[in-house]
Structure formats: C-alpha cells, structure tokens
Structure 1
C-alpha cells in the first residue's frame, strides 16, 4: 500500500509539473501575441507621428538657419546681381555674381545641417489610447515616448523671378530655394519626408524694359 501511495504521489507531482509548464508556455505565447499585436498597431502610427514630427523639425530648422544667415551676411541686391544699361538707360543684361551665390548656398547648407544635427533623433509620443484601440480611446491617455533616429540631406538652389511692377518697371527677385530630405529610420523601414521652402535673398525694381534675352534665367 505504501508503494502504491508513493507511485500515486509521484504521478500527481508530474501532472502538477506538466500543468505548470503548460501554464507558463501559454503565458509566454500570450505575451508574445500581445507584443506582436501591439507592434502591428504601433508601426503605422509611428510612421505617421514620426513623419509629422520630422516635417515640423525640418521646417523650423530651415527657417531658423536661413533667417539667421541672411541677417548676418546682410547681402544686398548688388552683391548677388548686376544690371548693365546702355547710354540711354535701357537695360541690356541682368547677370549674377556666381561667387557670392555659391558662398551663400554653402553657408546656408551648412547652417541648416547644423540645426538638423541638433535633432539627430526625435522623441515621438503616441497616446496609449491610440495603441490600445481606436474609437473613443484615440488620442487619449498618457503618451508613450518612442525614440526615432533621423538623418537629413540639404540642397540649395537659386531662381530669378521677374514680375511687372508698374509702368516700365519690373520687379526682380532672387529666390533662395532650400530642399531638405529627412529620413526617419523606423524598425525594418526607412521613410522620408521632403520639405521645400523659398526665401527672398535680394530684390529690386528695374526701371526700363527688360528684354527676354537680358536675364540669364526667368524660372
């Protein structure tokens, strides 16, 4: 009888051990399933929130850098462009100072990159309610911070714009165009947003007719 009771006790312990292992296995599978489901919900949100944050950051960086450089350099129209006239005052040509333009492009590009490098990553905050489920919970609850690395490139170009400003007058505007591409390095995916902004580098009113061939560029 004692032998029988000992065997039954051993079998009971084995069954309890098996049930315990099964419980932990189910618990692990449930946790893994919750993590996978959360990941599927968070990824598209992270992309949306990340790109919105990247756009805001890039726009602010470009505006701050360009405005600061333009104020510091204090360039006038004559520093970037020159007008040639004949003896009667007719406009013969409108040309640009390539050296000064290239210098300005270089300084602007470096300044924008410097501003962006201060934000080499963004802390994207997603409301807990949006992660748990949509509907009434969307946008509610504490915000979960997620760190998203960022990388950026900058391109700068100039365009000339001519516009009538009255009788026998033409407004000539030299526009500095800054194009920033910000890459958000998300898990298993890199996505990018492009921010383009134009700034008036210099302008003047040209008195007299500006022939079509007088300006090196009208675009």
Structure 2
C-alpha cells in the first residue's frame, strides 16, 4: 500500500513538473512571438533617436570650434569682381570630419555601455501605463564604420548672387542589445553646416568643389 502511494506521488510530481515546463515554454513562445517584436521596435526607435542626438551634438560642437567658411572655401576674383576660382580646403574639412567621427564614436560607446531603462508599460505605448511595470535594460554597440561625408549645392539668390550650402552626412551602424535578442540598425543624418551668399558672377568652370572626396571613415573599436 505504501509503495503504491509513493509511486502515485512520484507520478504527480513528474506530471506537475511537465505542466510547469509546458506552461513556461508556451509563455516564452508567445512572449517571443507577440511582445518581442514590439520591444525591438521601441528599442530601435529610442536608440536611433539617442544616436542621432549624439551625432548632431558632436557635429555642431566641432564645427562651431573649427569651421569658418572664409578659411575653408577660397574665393578668387578678378579686377572686375567676377569670381575666377572657388575651391574647398579638403584637408581642413577632412581634419574636422575625423574629429567628429572619433568623438561621436566615443560618445556612442559610452551611451552603449550605460544603456537606457525602458518600463514595460512604455513599450505598450499606453499613456496610462507608460511608467508602470519592471524595466528592460537596453544597450547599444557601434559596429562597422562611422562615416562622414560632405555635399554642397549652389542656387541662384538674385542677380550675380549665389547661395552656397554645405552639408555633412554622418552614417554608422549600431547594434541594439536587449535580453535574448539583438538587432542591427543603420543610422544616418544630414545637417547643414554652412550657408552663405556669394556676390559676383560664378562661371561653372570656376567651381572646383571636390566635396565628394572629402570626409572620413573610422572603423569602430569593437570590430
């Protein structure tokens, strides 16, 4: 009698264990299928916004310190005031682009090491539940290259007046790291760094703006 009772207890324990494992497996499956895509999407959006904020701040800080249009863009005129040569100092532009890439990489790495905390309620995008529930820690790691490239455009601004705009484009890849998952995201942003009105007739042959060759590409330390 005692032996049969012991066997029944063992069967109950085994059966209970199987039920618990099955429920846990179903929960993990449903969580991965329904919740994780939302978690990844929100994490990507948050980290992308943080990365762009860092990139913009780095660009603005460095160009405010180092960039002066009259030093970078050389304008030569003839005795009649007509422009005979318009040329960029690509060496100076490359130096600024290098400093931007290095400092942006460090700032992105620092943010990635610290990470950000997102409450589960925030992930639901429900205004009432935004700050409730346990938090998920999201980390980020720069991967690949940080690349900075220049571009410029000229447009008429009146008689013998030309508006010249210079842009810098910064591009990199980051890896979003959350518990059980990771996702690679490309982040790029273009912002204007200079806009000026050039007075004088500019023939096309006078423009030697090789900005497509100016820029810098920095390999991430983590690769």
Q: TM-score, normalised by structure 1?
A: 0.81
Among 140, 150, 155, which residue is 1:149 paired with? 140
Alpha-carbon distance change, 102 to 128 in structure 1, aligned in 2, over 3 angstroms = closer
Unpaired runs of 5+ residues, structure 2, are 213-223
- Match for residue 5 of structure 1? none
- Match for residue 185 of structure 2? 192
SS at 1:209 equivalent: coil
**Stretch moving more, 168-177 or 180-189:** 180-189
Among 26, 38, 41, which residue is 2:19 paired with? 26
Unpaired runs of 5+ residues, structure 1, are 1-7
Among 75, 81, 86, which residue is 2:78 paired with? 86
User: Displacement, 1:139?
Assistant: 5.5
**Do 2:140 and 2:177's aligned partners in 1 also have CA atoms closer than 8 Å?**
yes
**Do 1:50 and 1:124's aligned partners in 2 also have CA atoms closer than 8 Å?**
no
Separation in 1 of the partners of 2:85 and 2:19? 81
Among 47, 50, 60, which residue is 2:43 paired with? 50
User: Displacement, 1:100?
Assistant: 0.7
SS at 1:119 equivalent: helix
Which consecutive segments of 4 or more residues in structure 1 shift more than 6 A? 134-138
SS at 1:171 equivalent: strand
Alpha-carbon distance change, 136 to 96 in structure 1, aligned in 2, over 3 angstroms = closer
Among 149, 155, 164, which residue is 1:172 paired with? 164
User: Displacement, 1:182?
Assistant: 2.4
**Do 1:46 and 1:124's aligned partners in 2 also have CA atoms closer than 8 Å?**
no
User: Displacement, 1:183?
Assistant: 2.7
Greater Rg, structure 1 or structure 2? 1
